[in-house]
Amino acid sequence: AAIVEHTFNVEDISVQRLCRQQVITAVNGTLPGPTINAREGDTVVVHVFNKSPYNLSLHWHGILQFLTPWSDGPEFVTQCPIHSGSSYTYRFNLTGHEGTLWWHAHTSFLRATLYGALFIRPRQGHSYPFPKVYQELPILLGEWWNANVVEVEHNATESQGAPQQSDAYTINGLPSDVYNCSQDGTYEVKVKQGKTYMLRIINAALNAQHFFKVANHTLTVVAIDAAYTNHYDTEVVVVAPGQTVDVLLRTNQPRGSYYMAFTPYHSAPAITINANITRGLIIYENATSAKPVMPDLPAQSDTPTAHRFYTNITGLAGGPHWVPVPRHVDEHMFVTFGIGFTVCNNFSGGCSGSTRPLSANMNNESFVLPRGRGVSMLEASYGGDVDGVYTRDFPNRPPVEFDYVNPNVSSETFAFQIAPKSTKVKTLKFNSTVEIVLQNTGIITTENHPIHVHGFNFHVLAQGFGNYNATRDEPKFNFVNPQIRNTISVPVGGWSVIRFQANNPGVWLVHCHLETHLPWGLAMAFEVENGPTPSFSVPPPPSDLPKC
Ligand code: C2O
């Protein structure tokens, strides 16, 4: 195995997009940032020099970080931010999975421009569990604001509404010819007829899941979230922020030009996203000059199509890096989540709903990062003194039970709408197995939330609509070939059941990957205790770990 070393200079650059010049924060002057190409088993070393005006951190989304929790990256969880003018080196190993992952800033909305791909190919001498592909193409779906993204987030947390919508979506950083002044800004790729290509699709957008299609071509899914799947043929790929999908594309159509295109999947019926269908071009060698073919995309609210894709894929049981489902469960958790309102300081009948900014919660606790408490959660955990940083009483169940998806306006649901702010973790014994029923709630509106678990891949045992019902739903669990993921899109007004073994000591954030929902508090964290020996324990922090 090799050492793959990169230097990331984070700095503000000026770019031209959508008829204007704008200053963005970028790595090594590029958007998207550099691609990390490595093989399973390699060690990645990234020296980050923060020359931007912001204090920030980077996260390696989906990397397990086994015994390297100091390199996971979420600010105030596993490290204090890298201050403007300082540096930090991330070091981690890529053992245990293959496929497409990515990296992004884990600070405010900065991930809008600080992101890039991370490809894990099979070890030297090993091959993909499918025939060799002719070429691999990174497809990063991004989101673009004309405004400064840190201000966009700030406004959303201080005001009473959702954040200002983005001004464009992008493919590999380019908004495409559907937007003004972007005629030259369309991602294009030339292909040969009669070959198999692999598209490594990453949804790096902040607040939108996407439907993705290539005109006239069927796509074959072979991996999701860097876990191999049984081959699944589909016209449309659905991908939530944080998730990745690897598909094979066979260039078996007449020589011509075909658009790849995507549009948001938005599950909350009351909300639509004003977005153009964003596109890139696939051009066959010696193509006729005929007009490129555009695919028909599903409607924004097409939940049946999204649900079919999200639930039909199965894991490649017995394939490379397959992990069987752990059968004995030590911790059963039932975790509700949804959007509500912030507690008003003066709430005693004097604070009306219309003046409360939005907030969000899990099990009626609205998560706050321990900003300004001197150390990150992981440092507090490692040092054994967590007082004033976090508490260990994250509940296994919500405090009251009600009809989560069709709530009456009762005192229970009212309490859920104004969940208290807290920084609570659930502590897990090393190697214990956790099963979580993730239950969507409809306390303001219900929508499909992509829930990401740091530090672990999990099995997705079942998913459905309505309130979870153990008697009805448990017999349907897939123990044979469930999907393995790091980010699960929990159905709108529904639930997902996930399971994993807590074999990775450290502090691991769990949160909605719709970026607006994280500062609103749709998060919790796991603290996994050390194993029996030093070789299963959190090592001492690296000497360059940033100070708060
Ligand atoms: Cu991709 Cu906590 O994030």
Centroid of ligand 1 to alpha carbon of 537 (angstroms)? 23
Region 333-362: mean pLDDT is: 72
User: Given a cut of 60, is residue 369 above it in pLDDT?
Assistant: yes
Residue 517 near ligand 1, beta carbon < 6 Å? no
Neighbours of 515 (CB within 10 A): 25
Residue 298 near ligand 1, beta carbon < 6 Å? no
Residue 111 near ligand 1, beta carbon < 6 Å? no
Region 255-280: mean pLDDT is: 89
**How would residue 106 be classed by pLDDT, with cut points 50, 70 and 90?**
very high
pTM: predicted TM-score of the whole model, two decimal places: 0.96
Residue 118 near ligand 1, beta carbon < 6 Å? no
pLDDT one-digit tens code per residue, 14-58 = 999 999 999 999 999 999 999 999 999 999 999 999 999 999 999
Closest ligand 1 atom to Cα of 242: 1
Q: CA 137, 140, 141, 144: dihedral to nearest 10 degrees? A: -130
- pLDDT of 206 reads 96
Residue type (1 letter), 101: L
Centroid of ligand 1 to alpha carbon of 73 (angstroms)? 9
Residue 426 near ligand 1, beta carbon < 6 Å? no
- pLDDT of 349 reads 43
Separation of alpha carbons 32 and 486, rounded Å: 22
Q: Whose CA is nearest to atom 3 of ligand 1?
A: 61
User: Given a cut of 80, is residue 343 above it in pLDDT?
Assistant: no
The answer to whether 466 and 494 are in contact (CB under 8 A) is yes
- Say yes or no: do domains 127-319 and 331-536 share a fold: yes
Residue type (1 letter), 397: R
- pLDDT of 308 reads 98
Residue 106 near ligand 1, beta carbon < 6 Å? yes
- Write the secondary structure of 391-458 as one string of H (helix), E (strand) and C (coil): ECCCCCCCCCCCCCCCCCCCHHHHHHHCCCEECEEEEECCCCEEEEEEEECCCCCCCCEEEEECCCCE
- Both tokens assigned to 134: 């002719």
Closest ligand 1 atom to Cα of 487: 1
Closest ligand 1 atom to Cα of 61: 1
Closest residue by Cα to residue 169 from 277, 245, 271? 277
Q: CA 389, 393, 396, 402: dihedral to nearest 10 degrees? A: -100
The DSSP code for 22 is E
Selected residue with higher pLDDT from 348 and 296:
296
Separation of alpha carbons 25 and 108, rounded Å: 12
- pLDDT of 417 reads 85
Separation of alpha carbons 331 and 201, rounded Å: 34
Out of 1.10.3720.10, 2.60.40.420, 2.40.50.140, 3.90.550.10, the CATH code matching 1-125 is: 2.60.40.420
**Percent residues over pLDDT 90 in the chain:** 85
- pLDDT of 415 reads 82
Q: Which CATH class is domain 331-536?
A: mainly beta
Strands 494-501 and 458-465: antiparallel
Centroid of ligand 1 to alpha carbon of 125 (angstroms)? 32
Residue 499 near ligand 1, beta carbon < 6 Å? no
Strands 99-105 and 20-27: unpaired
Centroid of ligand 1 to alpha carbon of 25 (angstroms)? 18
Task: For residue 405, report the phi and psi dihedrals to the nearest 5 degrees.
Answer: -95, -15
pLDDT one-digit tens code per residue, 180-212 = 888 888 999 999 999 999 999 999 999 999 999
- pLDDT of 183 reads 82
pLDDT one-digit tens code per residue, 416-469 = 888 999 999 999 999 999 999 999 998 888 899 999 999 999 999 999 999 999
Closest ligand 1 atom to Cα of 62: 1
Residue 450 near ligand 1, beta carbon < 6 Å? no
Residue 163 near ligand 1, beta carbon < 6 Å? no
pLDDT one-digit tens code per residue, 136-164 = 999 999 999 999 999 888 887 777 677 78
Residue 210 near ligand 1, beta carbon < 6 Å? no
- pLDDT of 295 reads 97
- pLDDT of 256 reads 96
- pLDDT of 352 reads 53
* CATH number of the domain located at residue range(s) 127-319 in this protein: 2.60.40.420
Centroid of ligand 1 to alpha carbon of 452 (angstroms)? 7
Domain range list for the chain: 1-125, 127-319, 331-536
- 313 in helix, strand or coil? coil
Separation of alpha carbons 130 and 80, rounded Å: 42
**How would residue 494 be classed by pLDDT, with cut points 50, 70 and 90?**
very high
Separation of alpha carbons 229 and 225, rounded Å: 10
**How would residue 346 be classed by pLDDT, with cut points 50, 70 and 90?**
very low
Mean pLDDT of the chain: 94
| Whether the predicted interface score ipTM is above 0.90 | yes
Using only the alpha carbons of the chain, give its radius of gyration. Answer: 22
Q: Whose CA is nearest to atom 1 of ligand 1?
A: 61
